[in-house]
Amino acid sequence: MFTTEDVKKIAKLSRLHITEEETEQYREKLGSILEYVDQLQEVDTMGVPELQHAVAVENVFRSDEPSIDLDERARAMEMFSARKGDLLEVQAVFSKDE
């Protein structure tokens, strides 16, 4: 199915550096892959609905709704050492040079 030159060309296009031994291994593997694809082509799929995904896909995320637990917020504020009123002061992320 595949010649050594075919494999070398595929390797070059893929920017892979393969040895002569690997070239022969890939030639055999690519051949068996194509044989398998040929077998799949023979399967009768008439009347079988097309699939977008092999398994059902559904959104499992919760809705994005803001919620405030005032007790939790108050505890966090109390534990934070550097604060100004209702604001928490953190270390600078960007320097003035940037």
C-alpha 16/C-alpha 22 separation (Å) is: 11
Q: Tokens 């009123």: give the residue.
A: 85
Range of the domain at 31: 4-41
If you ran DSSP here, which 8-state letter would residue 55 be given?
A: S
The predicted structure's pLDDT at residue 98: 60
pTM: 0.46
Does residue 13 belong to any structural domain of this protein?
A: yes
Does residue 11 belong to any structural domain of this protein?
A: yes
Give per-residue pLDDT as tens, 57-73.
888 887 888 777 888 88
Higher pLDDT among residues 86 and 18, named by residue = 18
Which of these, 56, 86, 19, 58, lies nearest to 7 by C-alpha position? 19
Does residue 60 belong to any structural domain of this protein?
A: no
- Whether the Cβ atoms of residue 4 and residue 26 lie closer than 8 Å to each other: no
| Domain at 37, CATH number | 1.10.20
Does residue 25 belong to any structural domain of this protein?
A: yes
Does residue 29 belong to any structural domain of this protein?
A: yes
Q: How many domains does the chain have?
A: 1
